[in-house]
Amino acid sequence: MEKDPQEKLNEAIIGGESEAAKKATQEQLKAGVSPIGIIKNMGKAMNVVGKKYEDMEYFVPDLVMAAEAMNKGLKLVLPKLGTAGSVFKGRIVMGVCRGDVHDIGKNIVVAMFRGAGFYVVDLGIDISPQKFIEAINKEKSQIVGASSYISTTIDELKKLNEEMKKAGIRNRVKYLIGGRQSIQNTCKTLVLTHSPTTLSRRLGW
Amino acid sequence: MSKLTGKTLDVELDKLAEQFKDMVSKEPHSMVERFMTILSFQEPDRLPVLVQIHDHSARISGMTVKEICTEPKKLLYAQLFAAVKYGFDTAATFADPYNYEAEAIGAKMLFPEDSFPVILEPLIKEPSDLKKLNVPDFTKAGRGPYVIECTRLSMEKLGDLASTASVATAPWSMAVQIRGFNNLIRDTRKNPGFAHKILDFCVDVIEAWVKAQQEAIGGAPAFPALADAFSCIPPISPQLVYDYVIPHTADIMKRLGPMMWSGGFPVEQIPNWERILEDVVAKTDTMIPRITMLESDWLPPEKIKEMSNRLHKPWWFGVRAGIINKGTPKEIENHVKKLIKVLAPGGGCVVFGDQVPRDTPPENVYAFVDSVKNHGKFPISID
């Protein structure tokens, strides 16, 4: 018996199959499933992935492939949503800090936040504090996430914090940090230790 | 940029070299002698003080990271500055070992002033790109000449006290650098034959690189080493370690002989971690496995000691950078003392400071060094 598109999409994301995820998303859209409904289901699939990672059944490569699969489907869904604030739980700007190009973890987290219903602007790699702040202001985001992997870029996480204070926006923005340096050196890694669903509850969204 | 250039740099470098030689020559044994004694499961007079300290050495010596990664005299100056200041037993001749091979075969690099060079984009974007790549002449390509000159300069200034480690990237980590992590993972799932072809090519390149370094020093180095941080678990899965990391690491060691290797091991407590750790060592004929726990101390050093004795395999156990960077001097001393008590007796294990970060307070580095020198004297006190 043919599986329904939602089940196929779940399996594709959990299995990290990008083309299958794309196809299943197309089928759901064609069948009239609401974009927000599709995203919610993607989020559930990513939560399964997250749980498998916590249980050490999955490892980082599985997260990476699952995130890719989800993003493949999201690319079809997001244009149909628009960016109206009421559709999303919150708006996040994320990037890898200046001088660093390691983005595996950041890409996974971006996918998980999108699956959890957040509007995420992914700035990419090597992002200066000024670029982060410009994006926060432009996107009117409530959350900013920055990551640092190599030891020499840990200062950039602190600089972003200081620059946001100078720009007068630090009080209205929740600041998440991630990456190996944040784990070793500084703060709680809310993103890496909590699923986005849990995180969104903790943040009161 | 450092103010030390030209003749002034030459003069200061010579001064530091003399200071280092003077300091080390007062020791009853050299670092190499102590290390070789430990490798043969015997006890020297004390543990050698070994610290991986690159960007921190740049900071305290007034150099930029870019300078130490591109200019041999400045690298040696920074390393000797740190060695003399803190009392290390050796000075490294490399800074960022994960990039040399990829750069030499054409990877585009970014050289920030105060952080390590990074590869901007994968060399192999499509499978057909692999055919365009060739094993380079490392005496001319990329920063091969810089690394070779670093070693030559160290030998010129320090003689027998020079470090001739010959560090190279291991096959899996090099494949990640030239293909990109996501692409390589996708290849292992969708096109495993191609993933193996990439790794085969990496083995060829690494062999050429190590041999170029060996020729520069007139023979095989005492401690050839493979850097392989990208092959640890859970950044990759145990299955990938068995299917890709172990076979190609074993291949390079078959060609070049046993080497030190820092890869394939679990950095978190995963199911069957003991079996995986033993397989990683046994199936690759690694001369000296090197292990560092990155974020937590879940791995009992007692287990490493038991494994080392049972397999008769010396281990290099890293004190994680987070403790040296953020601990108090007392915490560092107690941590290092605890590791030494378990790992050092009977030889077979070396305790070293792993990747000391740039902003580490100097008193913490002193605490590590003093702890090794005070508590690492043989016979090790069991109090």
Three-state SS letters, B53-85: CCHHHHHHHCCCHHHHHHCHHHHHHHHHHHHHH
B49-74 pLDDT, tens per residue? 999 999 899 999 999 999 999 999 99
What average pLDDT score do residues B263-292 get?
85
How far is Cα B240 from Cα B181, in angstroms, rounded to an integer?
A: 13
Residue pair B60/B79 in contact (Cβ under 8 Å)? The answer is no
The string of pLDDT tens digits covering residues B129-149 is 999 999 999 999 999 999 999
Highest mean pLDDT among B163-172, B183-192, B304-313: B183-192
Separation between Cα atoms, residue A88 and residue B20, nearest integer Å: 62
Q: What is the distance between the alpha carbons of residues B124 and B134, in angstroms, rounded to a whole number? A: 12
In this model, does residue A188 exceed pLDDT 60? no
CA–CA gap between residue B230 and residue B170 (Å, rounded) = 9
Do the bridges between strand B260-263 and strand B288-292 make them parallel or antiparallel, or are there none, so unpaired?
parallel
For chain B, the residue count is 383
pLDDT, mean of residues B181-195: 95
CB contact under 8 A, A60 and B236: yes
Give B109: exposed, middle or buried? Use CB within 10 Å, 0-12, 13-18, 19+: middle
Question: What residues in chain B have their Cβ under 8 A from chain A's Cβ atoms?
Answer: 55, 65, 110, 112, 114-116, 118-120, 181-182, 185-186, 188-189, 233-238, 240, 268, 270-271, 294-295, 320-322, 325-326, 355, 357-359
Distance between CA atoms of residues A182 and B56, nearest Å: 18
Q: Report the pLDDT value the prediction gives residue A187, as an integer from 0 to 100.
A: 46
Confirm if B188 and B195 have CB atoms less than 8 A apart.
yes
Q: How far apart are CA B183 and CA B179, in angstroms?
A: 6
Output the CA–CA distances (angstroms, integers) from residue A24 to A11, A13, A145, B169, B242, in the order listed: 10, 10, 30, 40, 33
Residue B354 confidence class, pLDDT cut points 50, 70, 90:
confident
| B236/A59 CB distance under 8 A | yes
Enumerate residues 6+ apart whose C-beta is below 8 A from B275: none
Q: Which of A148, A159, A151 is closest to A125 using CA atoms?
A: A148
Class of domain A85-202: alpha beta
Residue A183 has pLDDT above 60, yes or no: no
Q: In this predicted model, what pLDDT tens digit does every residue of A152-170 receive, in sequence order? A: 677 788 889 999 999 999 9
Task: Judge whether residue A196 has pLDDT over 70.
Answer: no
- A56 touching B (Cβ < 8 Å): yes
Among B167-181, B257-271, B286-300, B318-332, whose mean pLDDT is lowest?
Answer: B286-300
Can you say whether residue B106 is alpha, beta or left, with left for phi > 0 and alpha for psi between -120 and 50 degrees?
A: left
Pairwise CB contact (< 8 Å): B55 & A152:
yes
Nearest CA to B240 out of A53, A13, A46, A60 is that of A60
Predicted confidence (pLDDT) per residue in B323-349, tens digit: 898 899 999 999 999 999 999 999 999
- B112 closest CB neighbour out of A16, A99, A151: A99
**Band of pLDDT at residue B217, cut at 50, 70 and 90:** confident
Asked whether residue A35 carries a pLDDT value surpassing 70, the answer given is yes
Sheet holding B225-228, edge to edge: B167-169, B225-228, B260-263, B288-292, B315-319, B349-353
Q: What is the number of residues in chain A?
A: 205
Q: Which residues of A touch B120 (CB under 8 A)?
A: 101
> Which residue from B minimizes the CA distance to A155?
B359
Of B181, B237, B322, the CB nearest to A184: B322
Which of the residue ranges A133-137, A145-149, B14-18, B169-173 would you say has the lowest mean pLDDT? A145-149
B223-239 tens-digit pLDDT: 788 999 899 888 899 99
Q: Kindly state the tokens that stand for A14.
A: 């959990």
Token match 């990664």: residue?
Answer: B69
Position B220 confidence tier, pLDDT thresholds 50, 70, 90:
low
pLDDT value of residue B67: 96
For chain B, percent of residues with pLDDT exceeding 90 = 67
Nearest one of A169, A201, A189 to A93, comparing CA atoms? A169
pLDDT band at B24 (very low <50, low <70, confident <90, very high): very high
Instruction: Fill in the amino acid letter for A132.
Output: F
One-letter identity of residue A113: F
Q: Which range, of A14-18, A128-132, B186-190, B256-260, averages the lowest pLDDT?
A: B256-260
- CATH level 3 topology of A5-80: 1.10.1240
Please state the φ and ψ torsions of residue B291, each to the nearest 5 degrees: -135, 140
The answer to whether the CB atoms of B115 and A60 lie below 8 A apart is: no
Task: State what percent of residues in chain B have pLDDT above 70.
Answer: 98
Give the span between the Cα atoms of B54 and A164, in whole angstroms: 31
Taking the domains of chain A in order of start, what are their residue ranges? 5-80, 85-202
Of the candidates B164, B167, B180, the one whose C-alpha atom is nearest the C-alpha of residue B217 is: B164
Per-window interface: A 58-77 vs B, CB < 8 A: 58-62, 64-65, 68
Burial class of residue B241 (count of CB atoms within 10 Å of its CB; 0-12, 13-18, 19+): buried
Which residue from A64, A151, A183 is facing B357, i.e. has the nearest CB? Answer: A151
Which residue is closest to B184 within chain A, CA to CA? A61
Cβ A56–B65 below 8 Å, yes or no? no
Chain A residues within an 8 Å CB radius of B237? 58-62
pLDDT at A4: 85
Q: Give me the pLDDT at residue B92, please.
A: 87
| Mean pLDDT value across chain B | 91
Local structure of A127: helix, strand or coil: strand
How far is residue B136's CA from residue B156's CA, in Å, rounded to a whole number?
26
pLDDT confidence of A151, banded at 50, 70, 90? low
ipTM of the complex: 0.85
Q: Shortest Cα distance from B195 to chain A (angstroms)?
A: 14
Question: In this complex, is the C-beta atom of A103 within 8 Å of any C-beta atom belonging to chain B?
Answer: no
* C-alpha atoms less than 13 angstroms from C-alpha of B83 in its C-beta half-sphere: 31
| Predicted local confidence at residue B255, as pLDDT | 94
- Taking a C-beta distance cutoff of 8 angstroms, is the pair B118, B108 a contact? no
Q: Is B357–A64 a contact, with Cβ atoms under 8 angstroms apart?
A: no
In chain A, residues with a C-beta closer than 8 Å to the C-beta of B229 are: none
Out of A81-90, A112-121, B337-346, which region has the weakest mean confidence (pLDDT)? A81-90
A91 three-class SS? strand
CA angle B104, B110, B112 (to 5 degrees): 130
The residue behind tokens 């395999």 is B313
Contact B170, B252 (CB under 8 A): yes
Strands A174-178 and A143-147: parallel
